[in-house]
Amino acid sequence: MARAAQIGQLLIASVEDDGSASHPWCGNPDLLRGEDSARSLSDLIHYLCTLHGRYPGVIDHASTRAVEPASRAWLAQATYAFAGERAYLARLAVAAGPVPSTPGTAGTDSTIIAQRHAMEMLAQSERHGCALGTAMAIVLDWAQVRTVLDAAAIRFGVEPPPYMAGDVGTVATLADAFAGSAAVQRALLFGAQQVLLQHRGLWDVLEARHEARRAG
């Protein structure tokens, strides 16, 4: 098992390799600038609202598990920042209009709700380190999600606010300091990796819905 001093680097590498940035639909030209990009971006916004736009959010749940002063302080800042992200998503949802009609995808809502539930369970886990890893992965991966949301904002006439939570160095330093045992290291990385899996699942769903609309 990696030493605690390496956990921050492993976390960052996991987000880069397994998170939204490496998914082919995130940043795809068809999503950002294609003929049907308005509908695809609207799809993204509305399902991100389902996943992360409700209160209490996943990071809010994770903050209730924090005991150590450093993790509590960081989670308090992340919680505040994501309150702003929820407000941003709400403005985008209004500007983007209704969820686009998509043939043959009646189960999408239940799929995304199940993803949200899975992340909420991780954020409320009794396993020490899991909740913090969950929150860290959301904060880090959201920086990539925001690049697409900001493109959508420009498309729909909304001014993108700055993203206030995604300082990579701060997260890596906290992860290194927090993960003082092999068990905590495993729990932190497990929570992070499971979040990235759920985010990639969202991109899979959104890409499939785009293909269904194009075929229909």
pLDDT tens profile 152-180: 999 999 999 999 998 999 999 999 999 88
The position carrying tokens 């209009």 is: 97
Yes or no: say if 175 and 8 are a contact pair by the CB < 8 Å rule.
yes
- Tell whether the model's pLDDT for residue 4 goes beyond 50: no
174-to-3, 6, 66, 147, 169 alpha-carbon distances in Å: 14, 11, 13, 25, 9
pLDDT in tens, 178-196: 988 999 999 999 999 999 9
Burial grade of 17 (CB within 10 A; 0-12, 13-18, 19 or more): exposed
CATH number of the domain where residue 32 is located: 1.20.910
pLDDT in tens, 86-141: 999 999 999 999 999 998 777 899 999 999 999 999 999 999 999 999 999 999 99
For the entire predicted model, the pTM comes to 0.95
Burial grade of 106 (CB within 10 A; 0-12, 13-18, 19 or more): exposed
Report the pLDDT value the prediction gives residue 175, as an integer from 0 to 100: 96
How many folded domains does the chain comprise? Answer: 1
CA 185, CA 190: separation in Å to the nearest integer?
8
Report the pLDDT value the prediction gives residue 64, as an integer from 0 to 100: 95
pLDDT in tens, 31-72: 999 999 999 999 999 999 999 999 999 999 999 999 999 999
CA 188, CA 71: separation in Å to the nearest integer?
12
CA 155, CA 47: separation in Å to the nearest integer?
18
Report the pLDDT value the prediction gives residue 216, as an integer from 0 to 100: 73
Residue 10 contacts by C-beta under 8 Å, 6 or more apart in sequence? 2, 189
Q: What is the span of the domain harbouring residue 18? A: 4-215
Q: What are phi and psi of 88, to 5 degrees?
A: -65, -45
Report the pLDDT value the prediction gives residue 169, as an integer from 0 to 100: 95
CA 172, CA 192: separation in Å to the nearest integer?
13
Report the pLDDT value the prediction gives residue 104, as an integer from 0 to 100: 77
